[in-house]
Amino acid sequence: MGPGKRLREAAVVGGTLLLAIIALRMSAKNPGDMSALDRGILRLVVPAQSAMSFIARAITGVAGHYVELTHVRSENEALTQENQKLRAELTEMRRLAEESGRYQRLLGLRDVTPAETIAARVIAVDASPYFRVARVDIDHGEGAVRHGMPVLTPDGVVGRVNRVSGKSSDILLLVDPRSAIDVVIPRTGGRGILRGKAAENAYRCSVEYLARGEPAKVGDAVVTSGLGGTFPRNLAVGHITRVIPGAVGLYQDVEVTPDVDFARLSEVLVVVAPPPAPDTDPAARRLPARGPMVYR
């Protein structure tokens, strides 16, 4: 290889590294922004992700039915073909009932959430273990969803909208280390910032700046405080699963397991209208009588 060609090769490699650094700097400055090129690429990616997600769910459904049918056959050899058909139909009905239940819970959540919401279908979750992000497909007019909007399920808070491109949006899950949500422990009234713990062996968060004066216990519920103006107040977030002993300083070190099962996310609600202003009265922060608001 001649020196000219070697120089050209080095220039191309250097150029790609420089481009990557520029992209990094831009995304660090404005995390929610996307260029026209990014949006164009996503227009190619999202339909494929959506189709693949649909196929994957169909395959898991068929596999589940197969396992169930095999099990039934081994236990009941004398069953007639009609019985098998009926059982298959029953399985399908149960699946439909479960799906219907999920939608009803979602609708129930929509009715009681003190803000305007729209439903979205999850098409991809956690492609990288170092960035906990879900992609949702929203069958709604473009522009309805914006950066920072909260995302919920009937079980509790999922996260907030990070990037929007056409009808698809990236949801920064609350277990991502970049996520920060103002939370309160209703039993003690202690407030802190819920932050995700990246790439742990399970979906976990920690509460930062939780004052020592209000000791937390394992099993305590954690809900949104409503402060910060993003999340409606008193939405279920998770439960304290570990109080780490030996921490020194002003704050406690606690671990929270989210109420939402992120491995099974399928439908979510995006809060598109701002929630009502929170009650900042310190006395109202103690909520032992009401407990966390769980929409079921």
Does residue 236 contact residue 157 with C-beta atoms inside 8 Å? yes
Query: Cβ neighbours of residue 267 under 8 Å, at least 6 residues apart?
Result: 102, 103, 106, 119, 120, 121, 122, 153
Pick the binder of another protein from 128, 139, 143, 289 (CB under 8 A): 128
Q: At what angle do helices 81-112 and 36-75 cross, to 10 degrees?
A: 140
Give the residue from 237, 209, 210 showing the smallest Cα distance to 223. 237
Percent helix, strand and coil across the chain, each to the nearest 5: 35, 30, 35
Q: Which is nearer to another protein, 170 or 259 (CB)?
A: 170
Pick the binder of another protein from 71, 95, 264, 290 (CB under 8 A): 264
Minimum distance from residue 112 beta carbon to another protein (Å): 29
131 touches another protein by CB under 8 A = yes
DSSP H or E segment with residue 59: helix 36-75
Minimum distance from residue 17 beta carbon to another protein (Å): 5
Binding mask 188-207 for another protein (x = CB under 8 A): -------x-xxxxxxx----
Subset of 165-184 contacting another protein (CB under 8 A): 170-172, 176-178, 180
CA angle 237-205-215, nearest 5°? 80
Query: Cβ neighbours of residue 210 under 8 Å, at least 6 residues apart?
Result: 185, 190, 191, 192, 216, 251, 252, 254
Pick the binder of another protein from 106, 118, 120, 133 (CB under 8 A): 133
Does residue 102 contact residue 261 with C-beta atoms inside 8 Å? no
CB atoms closer than 10 angstroms to residue 257 = 16
Listed ranges 44-52, 221-229, 252-260, 274-282: which one lies at the site for another protein (CB under 8 A): 44-52
Radius of gyration of the chain (CA): 23
Minimum distance from residue 85 beta carbon to another protein (Å): 27
- 3-class state of residue 154 by DSSP: coil
4 touches another protein by CB under 8 A = no
22 touches another protein by CB under 8 A = yes
Binding mask 64-103 for another protein (x = CB under 8 A): ----------------------------------------
**# binding residues, another protein (CB under 8 A):** 62
Pick the binder of another protein from 60, 70, 100, 280 (CB under 8 A): 60
Does residue 292 contact residue 209 with C-beta atoms inside 8 Å? no
Q: Do you know the residue count of the chain?
A: 296
Pick the binder of another protein from 84, 87, 115, 126 (CB under 8 A): 126
127 touches another protein by CB under 8 A = yes
Binding residues for another protein, rule: CB under 8 A, are 8-9, 12-13, 16-17, 19-28, 31, 38, 41-42, 44-45, 48-49, 52-53, 56-57, 59-60, 123-131, 133-135, 162-163, 170-172, 176-178, 180, 195, 197-203, 262-264
